[in-house]
Structure 1
């Protein structure tokens, strides 16, 4: 039984190995077509359930930023037909989904004070898509479930004492040892990808740091310890972004010299 489990696990891992835009090895078990179908279906459902902002100037502003960012994506993403929707939602949030979908909440415009700050959020969200984080997360959940079920079967077959207690411990270990750090890795990676993307499009990269400072100021309530959160602590991500501003500024300067200087208002 253990040999069968090992063979299946290795086969899954080998078949799904990829490399992220930052050079990180990742597991992505699902096809691009499947992920695009899932992303498009989710987006259609959101449009049915949430109110959509129809103000022309607000939509033009958000779409202007999206167009500049999309133009800097790898060709297979840049050539997609992207759909950008502004939702009437007070939370300061945005998201992007496989299949070329971008959603921005109106509440975000109260925190992202200018085009550079909004580009930082939208670049971050598109960064999740081009790094295939959705695929990686779905694959990770599938592998975790497979591993826990296999462990339970092996313990049951071996008649191991305290099986339930051991399985509970394995579940907590998977949550805090794999799932949560995995989420923080995705967030940090999307920050880096988004920073490069906005700079290549000609946006001011300093807007990313200002944005997360605004986010921290706007947040309410106590935050969980970083090791128990799927997102890095605000100060951690601000420090990470700040350390990469010099290179991002060089990318922005090159963009300006080539005529890329967004004027989204």
Structure 2
């Protein structure tokens, strides 16, 4: 009991000392693991996932070529945005990769360091490059804004796992499990409330900007999410989910659109 009391008394100090200020979003984030640690683990886990998946070769596949083309433009836009903010060094270790995986799952994700996967199942919903750009802008924002590290840190704190000192993600089964439950194909939503909803809105916000800077019409986000809403399926109430309700998200996107359009300069394919 004494140790528990000491731990509770030390908790505010641990949280305060482990918070960092995100220069892009302007929000303080709990960061018990470094960007270097998660990037190193991401490389290993990304390669492992691809080795077990049906990766669509960009040779002879227009869809795979599109994913790589859109992803590269988004990455270039993000690099330019960070450059204008004097934050180029924050993306110095990013080695961008964009792969299309043959799967009916309607999903896409980005691991730290720019390791991106798009599932073929989402392409019938995106329907065009601009909507795909919105999706990739959103998912990549989660990575560059440190949302995964934040969620990992919150989970580690909740479980009392090595909340001080270096964490060897690749060698610690508990922390590696947390990594896989935050990033990529094993990720689950609805665990961390309500901060994850803040993360979703941040990803929507900057995802629109990055898509626009890449030369894609950010207004395609509205019909895309309307199509997602029409897909139906069981959805938890908004207060139980980390993701905003469809109508709330669309309303927020409409509010963000005027700002995003200031960045929009169409480019030819």
**Equivalent of 1:62, from 62, 67, 76?**
67
The yes-or-no answer on 1:138 pairing with 2:174 is no
Match of 1:126 in 2: 140
Q: CA deviation at 1:6?
A: 4.4
Q: For the residues of structure 2 that align with 1:40 and 1:262, how far apart are their CA atoms?
A: 33
The yes-or-no answer on 1:215 pairing with 2:218 is no
Q: Any gaps of 5 or more consecutive residues in structure 1? A: 148-174
**Equivalent of 1:100, from 114, 117, 142?**
114
SS at match of 1:246: helix
Match of 1:88 in 2: 102
| 4+ aligned runs moved over 6 Å, structure 1 | none
Q: Give the TM-score taking structure 2 as reference length.
A: 0.78
Contact map agreement 2:93 2:113 (CA 8 A) in 1: no
Q: Any gaps of 5 or more consecutive residues in structure 2? A: 83-87, 162-188
Q: 1:173-184 to 2 correspondence within 5 Å?
A: 179-184=192-197
Match of 1:4 in 2: 6
- Per the alignment, do residues 144 and 36 of structure 1 end up closer, same or farther by CA in structure 2, a change over 3 Å counting? same
Q: CA deviation at 1:144?
A: 1.3
Q: CA deviation at 1:222?
A: 2.9
Residues 188-233 of structure 1 deviation map (CA, whole Å, 9 limit, x = unaligned): 1111110111112221010111111111112x32321101112111
The structure where helix makes up a greater share of residues is: 1
SS at match of 1:96: strand
Q: Give the TM-score taking structure 1 as reference length.
A: 0.79
Contact map agreement 2:42 2:111 (CA 8 A) in 1: yes
The yes-or-no answer on 1:189 pairing with 2:202 is yes
**Equivalent of 1:237, from 249, 255, 260?**
249
> Over aligned residues, Cα RMSD in angstroms?
2.2
- Per the alignment, do residues 79 and 9 of structure 1 end up closer, same or farther by CA in structure 2, a change over 3 Å counting? closer
Contact map agreement 2:209 2:263 (CA 8 A) in 1: yes
